A and B are shown apart, each in its own frame.
Chain A
Amino acid sequence: MKMARQQIGKVVTAYTYIAPFFLLFLLFGLFPIVYSLFLSFTWWKGMGRQIFVAFDNYKALFHDRTFYKALYNTAYIWVFAHLLILPGGFLVAYLLNTEYVKRKNLFQALFFTPMVTSTIAVSLVFSTLFGEQFGVLNWFLEGLGIQPISWFHGNGGWIKPVIILLFAWRWIGWNMVIYFAGMQGIDRELYECAAVEGANKAQILGRITIPLMKPVILYTLVLSFIGGMQIFDEPFILTGASYGYIGGTNQAGLTLATQLYEIGFRTGNMGTASALAYTIMAIIAVLSIFSIRLFAGRGERV
């Protein structure tokens, strides 16, 4: 079927309007993504000769104990931070959604404020607060008669909790705002009907609110994978000092993204760094697909 002149004109106009995004994406998005995959099969220091090494980078990565350490740390931080963030954000949004809380906007703003701060500035402040000999927290503990804690040294056991605290402090507000918006979108009539039918608060929450919030919860979950797996600023600032390696004692604060930085910029191994980048992407993809399947599966059964 031949298209009339005006129709072709309209089609061309439409494509022209959307072209800029795709051009930029092609240059700054697609090309680096594809080139990075190519790089992951080479030995390259960022300049000079590129030597094709097939799967050697991936093999070396999976034989490197520090990769597994970074993976463990990242997973650990993600799980515990999000146990605080997702249910915590949901809880705060739920409370905000009830009629008991008056100044809803005020609380929304307050909880969201940490998101507006600079991760680096906050991390620097936290690192001073948690200083071993002269930090405010240890001074406080000493005042209470408790032995001051070696936050970033000792056996490194406190490093991850501090990072988790810092990360959760920032992100509860974001998730809370999204959950709140989702809850506001639920028709009040449903609650009234349920109340008339004799449902209590727990049943309303479990049978109405949560199922209707499923798409929103899935959204925050997938976003949390993408953000959480790539956590960089907090571990980098809190544990990047000392003798030239990131992570503190036993590299307890080493995450996948900080290891990527170390390999790519400190060691200069662009090939291995690209391999690591693709590995991280694969992990995020698998987790995301898994959760989407999980949520979709349940939804169909209802």
Chain B
Amino acid sequence: MRKATLSLLIAAVLIAVTGAGAAFAADIQAKITVWAWPSADKAFDSIIAGFNAKYPGIQVTWEMKPGQAAGTRDALLAAMAAGAGGPDVALLEINDIGMYALHGGFVDLRQPPYNAQKYKADFVGYKWDLATAPDGSLFAFPWDIGPAGIFYRRDLLDKAGVPSDPDRLAKLIRTWDDFVAVGKKVNDPKNKVWWIDTAQGIPYIYYAHKNFFDKDMNIAIDSPTTRRVLTIAKQLRNAGMDAKASLWTDEWYTMLNTGRVATSIVGCWFGGFLKSWIAKDTGGKWGVIPIPEQPLQNWGGSFLGILQTSQNPEAAWKFVEYVCADAEAENTIMKTVDYFPAYKPAWKDPMYDQPDPFFGGEKTRRLWANIASSQGPFVVSPLDAQAEQAFNVELGKFLDQNLAVEPTIKAMVQAIDEKTAADRKIVLQMMGR
């Protein structure tokens, strides 16, 4: 054969081979960047080896933005407004997810080649709803959830003669009235020990990014449930049983670390925070019980979204899919940073039945899974974050100024209405009503 024809033939074969190779996902060659905040970096560190074993051609770099979730959001919004300089994948927090739903700029994952709709049944229902925009597009993929419970200090309960074993305690605290009654035994303000860090935590958890509106975007908080939780919170505050702590301040961390508060109502990820930086040396002293009367509670959680400006959306999707919908990866992340998977199949793993020494040997993971699977009212909307703000302002006033329940509920409804009126109109339009 002549040289020219031979080289042409070789060239043709090479092109055919690489062309065929590109069809296999494992050979995707791409570099993708991810923007997130800690402890996502530890989470990614723990699974990157597994990811690259599956997709050796995809190089992932992540950047932890300063300022935690808020800082990352601000940086992301700026990059998206500029239309350039943004990442391929961004970590989106549940507080902002409603805003992102209306903001746009993310890839609709229902479309080919992502076809994420097939995962719907595998994810916790409310999480999937949050990732769905009013026009029906799936603009983000659920990562972790924050099933919430009552974290308590076993040593403080022991001192007061209250059973600190979680099963016994859960049977003892079946209603909020029980919670108050048990609290009276433990509360000891003279010695600077309070039953709960802040009474605000109880109404807050009932309305943490949910249940402000009904499916038709009518304000839904004027209900017996609201009256109940407000009354209980008032009882606790007036009996001097809460430490009036401001969350996320140094004071609050100190109180938790030095055993000044016996309970705190937070999400499961709080375990990871306690273990790594808030109260490292208090291992074995904690326990968790579900929230009485309405155990299906959630605080926090995040999603991963792929930006429309991404040059490698397919590679980005492979990463997102691996991090969020691969049981093994999810469980590795869970073990590393306590991010609780929204991906239900991951919960079948026997590690969920392992005792956690930090919590005195309690099988907390199984508890979280049970909490996340329990039933209860859970209606989400893109305006929950705004409504939550208005709600919390009135709640703070209610407790700090010792106001009455009925006027407070009226004020809450009015505040939410004022704050969200304009957006509600638009959201209903988007939903096609």
Contact = CB atoms under 8 A, between A and B. Distances in A.
Interface of A: 43, 45-49, 51, 53, 56-57, 60, 63-66, 127-128, 131-135, 150, 152-156, 241-245, 247-251, 262, 265-269, 272
B95 A46 contact: no
B389 A268 contact: no
Given A128-B250, A132-B244, A243-B247, A48 B401 contact: no
Contacts of B192: 133
B422 A249 contact: no
B200 interface: yes
Nearest to A53: B422
A132 B104 contact: no
Given A250-B400, A265-B73, A266-B389, A272 B104 contact: no
B211 interface: no
24 contacts: A43-B426, A45-B99, A46-B77, A47-B81, A47-B105, A48-B104, A51-B426, A60-B421, A63-B418, A132-B244, A132-B251, A133-B260, A134-B250, A153-B244, A153-B400, A156-B400, A241-B246, A242-B248, A244-B95, A245-B393, A250-B401, A262-B389, A265-B77, A266-B389
A245 B249 contact: no
Interface in B259-280: 260
A131 B419 CA distance: 31
Given A241-B246, A245-B392, A47 B422 contact: no
A70 to B, nearest CB: 12
Given A47-B104, A265-B77, A251 B244 contact: no
A124 to B, nearest CB: 9
B315 to A, nearest CB: 23
A272 B421 CA distance: 12
Given A45-B104, A242-B392, 13 more contacts: A45-B103, A46-B77, A56-B422, A63-B418, A132-B244, A133-B260, A153-B244, A153-B246, A241-B247, A244-B388, A266-B99, A267-B385, A267-B423
Interface residues of B, number: 45
Interface string B234-257: 000000000111111111001100
Contacts of A60: 418, 421-422
Contacts of A153: 244, 246, 400
Contacts of B392: 242-245
The interface centre, meaning the residue of A56, A132, A150, A243 with most chain B CB atoms within 10 A of its CB, is A243
A266 B385 CA distance: 8
Contacts of B386: 267
B81 A154 contact: no
B161 to A, nearest CB: 25
B109 interface: no
A154 B244 CA distance: 9
Contact of A47 (B80, B251, B254, B421): B80
B379 interface: no
Nearest to A131: B251
Contacts of B389: 244-245, 262, 266
A269 B422 contact: yes
A272 B415 CA distance: 17
Given A60-B422, A131-B249, A267-B386, A243 B105 contact: no
A249 B421 contact: no
A249 B400 contact: yes
Contact of A268 (B103, B200, B254, B393): B103
